[in-house]
Amino acid sequence: MMAWDEPAAARLRRRQLLLWAGGLAALPVFDRALAAEDSASPGAAARAVPPVDWTDDPFFGAGFVDTDEWRDTQVRHRFVHGGFRDTDTRFSIWFPEPAAWRGRFAQFLQGGLGGSEFRGQQSGASLIAFENGAYFLESNQGHVGNDMKGLKGEGDVLSWRASAQSARFARRLATEMYGRPPAFGYVFGGSGGGMRSIDCIEAAPAIWQGAVPFMINRNGLTSFNWSVAAWASMVLAGKLEAIARAADAGGDGPYSVVETDEERLALDRLYAAGFPRGAEDQLGPNPLWILGMQLAFATDPAYIVAFWRQPGYAGHDREPAVERMLIETELTVKALRTGDEVGAAASAAEDLTGAVTRMSGPGTAGLVLDTERPAMDFLGASLEIVSGKAKGRRLLCTGGVGESITAFLDPVGFEGVEPGDRIAIANRALIAFLYLHRHAVDPRYPGMAAYFEAGQAIYPQRPIDFDAQVVPKGRFQGKMIHLQHTHDREAWPTSALPYIADVNAHFGQATRDNYRIWWIENAAHLPPSASQRTEYVSYQGAYAQGLRDVIAWVEEGRAPPVSTGYSLADGVQVQLADDAKDRGGIQPLVTIGVGGRTRAEARVGEAVRIEAEAVVPPGAGTLVRMAFDLDGSGAFATPVRDLEGAPIRHRAGLTHSFERPGTHMVTVMAWAQREGDARAELRLVPNLARLRVDVR
C-alpha cells in the first residue's frame, strides 16, 4: 500500500464519496466542489442534515408546474410536469382518475445516473403503477442528462433527496386532487436506480414503506469487475465467439477452446472474480468500460502515471499482452457519418452504444478512418485532431458503430472535422484500466482473493479506501423485495452479495419478515434484443410482480413467496437450487433434453425426441404459456397446446428432424403468472432452457 499524507487521504476520501455518488459526467463539477472545500476555512459550518420525512428540503427552491393536463395515453390520467426553482430537478407525475386510485404512489428511479423524468413511462413502469391503483411519479434525480451541475457537489441529492422532494410535491398535489394524501409509498428501479431505491427506503422511511430494487451494482466493486472483464476480453479477443459456443448448453466448456497459459489465466481470473458462467457471449468491448475508467482515474489521477512509469505495473514492465494491446497511431479521416446514419447502423446491429445515446440528427456523429481495424478496437482511446479546422481538439473514443468511431461524451464532438484530417490515436489510458483490478483490491471481498498471497497483495496497491464507498447498510424499515439477475455482465451476481449479507446481519432471524432476494435466472442487464430471445429472458414481469407483492406485504401483511434458494461455488459463483421447491422465488424452473442430456447427435432428417419440463415454485402462480424455438429465430413458433387447467408442473415433448447439418440450439420457454391468467400481459415471469443438437 502506498503511503500518503493525512490531508491527501482526506481529500481522496471526499473525492471517492462524490464520485461514487455522481459518476462520469459529474467529474468537472466534483473537482470544483472539492477545490472549494479544500480552500474553505477549518471552521466552516457543517452542511445541514437533510430532512427524512415530509418536511421540505431547503436545498430545493419552490416547486413549479409547467404542464398540467388530462391525457388518454395508456389509461386516462392527469399529467403534471414541473420542477424546483434554483435546481435542475424535474419531475413528471401521472395521476389516475379518482375512481382508479387506491391511496398509494409508486416512484420509478431510472438506472445509470438518472437524468430523465420520462424513462419509466417509456419503459412501461407507469402501467405497472396504474395496475396497482397508484399514481406514478418519476424525477430526473437532480440533474438533466449527463450534466451534473444541478447536484452542486452534494451526491445524496442524486441518491435520494431529489426523489424525496419530488415525492413531497406530488403528495401535496395528490391531496388536493383526491381529498387525502397517499397512505403508502413505494420505490422501484434497476441498476443505478436499484441502488438508489435502496438509498431511498433506508434514508426516508416516512416517505417510502416498500422497495423493489433490481440488478443492483455494489458501489466500489464496479471498476474492479469491469476491469477484470475488460482485461479478459482483450486477452481472449480472438476466441470470444468460440468460448461463448463452448460455454452454451451441451458445449465442451470454455476451457476446451483456450490454448495458452495466458488464456487459461484470463478465464481463471474472470470466474474467480465472480463473472457469471453462462454469460460468456456478453464478453467483448463494452462502452461502459469508459465509465469505469473515468471513475477510477478521477478517484486516483496518479494511477495512470504509475502504471506506465513504476516497476510492478504491467505498463512499465512491458508485459507481452500490453505490447499486443497498445495502439499508438495516426490515421486519416476517410468519410463522415451523420447522427441519423450512426443511429440507423446501431439499431440494425443492436449496438449498445447506439441504444445508450440514441444518436440522431444531421450533425457529424461518426468518422470512418483509413484502417482495416474494426472501429470498436478504438474504444476508450484518446483522439487528438492534428490537422484541419478542428486541430488541437482532444476527444475520448466511445467505441464504434459499424465502420464509424464515435465520441458522444463531448458536446462538440466531431464538429468541424473534414475528410482528409489527421487524427492521433492512443489507448494508454484504457490499457491502464484493464489492469486496475490488480492494484485496487481488498481481502474482505472473495472475488479479489486471487490477488493475494499469504494475506499480502501481489501487486503494488493504490491508495483506495474501500470504506469511503457510499453504500447502503442493509438497515431499513418497511419491506423490500430485491431481484438480482444471474447472467448480468454489468451488475454481476457478486455485486448483490455484500448487501444481502448486510441485511442478514442487521435483521438476523427477522430477515424473512422484511426482505426477499429473488434471483432471476437467465436475465442479463438489458432486456433481450431480437437476436438474444433464445438465450435471455425479459425481467419486467418479475419486478412488476415484485411491486404487487411488496404492496400486499406492507398493507395487508401478506408475505410473498420465499427467497430463492442458492449456494455459492468458490464463494463467488451463484448456483440456484435444482428442485423447484428448494429454489423458491417466483420464476419457473425449466429443463430440456434428449434422453435426459442437454446434448444430442443426429443425422440429417433423423427424428429426434425432445422432452421439456417446467415447474412453478410454491406460491408463485401457475404455468400459462410454454413454447419451443427450433430454429434460433426467437419466434417460439411451436407452442405447447395442452396447458389446460393452469398447471404448476407440466411436461411437454415433440419429435423433430433437422434438414441441415451443423449445430442447432433448441430452446424451450415457460411463463408463470400469479393468477393463472393466460391472457395477461403484465406480471408474466419467464424462464428458459437450451439443448444442443449436432446434426451430421
Does 434 share its domain with 311?
Answer: yes
- Statement: residue 644 has pLDDT above 90: no
Residue 101 pLDDT: 98
Q: Do 299 and 358 belong to one domain?
A: no
Kindly state the DSSP code that residue 617 receives in the 8-state scheme: P
pLDDT value at position 360?
65
Q: Is residue 499 predicted with pLDDT exceeding 70?
A: yes
Are 431 and 303 part of one and the same domain? yes
Residue 100's pLDDT is 97
Stretch 459-474: mean pLDDT: 83
- 431 and 360, same domain (yes or no): no
**Cα–Cα distance between 601 and 327 in angstroms, integer?**
45
Percent of the chain with pLDDT over 70: 91
Grid cell digits, residue 205: 422511511
Task: Indicate if 266 and 365 belong to the same structural domain.
Answer: no
Closest CA to 548 of 565, 563, 561: 561
Q: Same domain for 350 and 433?
A: no
**pLDDT for res 1:** 29
- pLDDT at residue 296, rounded to an integer: 85
Beta strands (DSSP E) in 427-562 are 452-453, 456-457, 479-485, 515-520
pLDDT at 331 over 60: yes
Length of the chain (residues): 696
Averaged over 408-424, what is the pLDDT?
92
The pTM (predicted TM-score) of the whole model is 0.91
* Rounded average pLDDT over 368-380: 95
In a domain, 157, yes or no: no
Place of cell 472545500: 37
Q: How confident is the model over 195-215, as a mean pLDDT?
A: 97
* Whether residue 657 is found in the same domain as residue 596: yes
Provide the pLDDT for residue 410. 82
Angstrom distance (rounded) from CA 565 to CA 384: 52
Average pLDDT over residues 402-419: 91
Tell me which range, 111-125, 159-173, 281-295, is most confidently predicted by mean pLDDT. Answer: 159-173
Distance CA 212, CA 482 (A): 6
Closest CA to 231 of 380, 452, 432: 432
Cβ contact 3:282 at 8 Å: no
Pick from 395, 426, 457: which residue ends a domain?
A: 426
- Same domain flag for 227 and 243: yes
Domain with 248, as residue range(s), is 1-40+220-315+427-468
Residue type, 617: P
Sign of CA dihedral 375, 378, 382, 384: negative
Per the domain annotation, does 310 fall within a domain? yes
Average pLDDT, the chain: 90
pLDDT digits (tens, 9 = 90+) for 61-81: 999 999 999 999 889 999 999
Q: Is residue 136 part of a domain?
A: no
Percent over 90 (pLDDT), the chain: 79
Work out the average pLDDT over 518-543: 95
Q: What cell numbers appear for 87 in the block?
A: 435546481
Q: For residue 469, what pLDDT is reported?
A: 67
Helices (H), 216-338: 221-235, 240-247, 261-273, 289-299, 303-309, 314-317, 320-325
| Assigned domain for 488 exists | no
Looking at 426, 457, 491, the residue that finishes a domain is 426
- Higher pLDDT pick, 471 / 251: 251
Contact at 8 Å (CB) between 181 and 168?
A: no
With residue 155 as reference, give the H or E element that holds it.
helix 155-156
Distance of CA 308 to the CA centre of its chain: 31
Residue 343 sits in a domain whose CATH number is 2.40.10
Say if 436 falls within a structural domain. Answer: yes
What's the structural domain count of the chain? 3
Single-letter amino acid code for the residue at 314 = A
pLDDT in tens, 231-240: 999 999 999 9
Q: Are 620 and 561 in contact (CB under 8 A)?
A: yes
pLDDT in tens, 9-63: 333 333 333 333 333 333 333 333 333 333 333 333 456 789 989 999 999 999 9
The predicted structure's pLDDT at residue 350? 60
Answer yes or no: is 230 within a domain. Answer: yes
Residue 218 CA neighbour count, 13 Å, CB half: 23
Within this chain, do residues 339 and 408 fall inside the same structural domain, yes or no? yes
Residues 348 and 252 in one domain: no
pLDDT(158) > 60 = yes
More confident: 331 or 15: 331
Taking Cα atoms as reference points, which of 54, 58, 291, 22 lies closest to residue 154? 22
Shared domain for 444 and 593, answered yes or no, is: no
Structural domain contains residue 190? no
Q: Do residue 674 and residue 595 come from a single domain? A: yes
Comparing 154-168, 467-481, 597-611, the range with the smallest average pLDDT is 467-481
Closest CA to 548 of 189, 130, 160: 130
How many CB atoms lie under 10 A from the CB of residue 312? 14
536 vs 8, which has greater pLDDT?
536
> What CATH number is attached to the domain comprising 636?
2.60.40.10
Residue 58 in any domain: the answer is: no
Quote the pLDDT of residue 146: 79
* 472 pLDDT above the threshold of 90: no
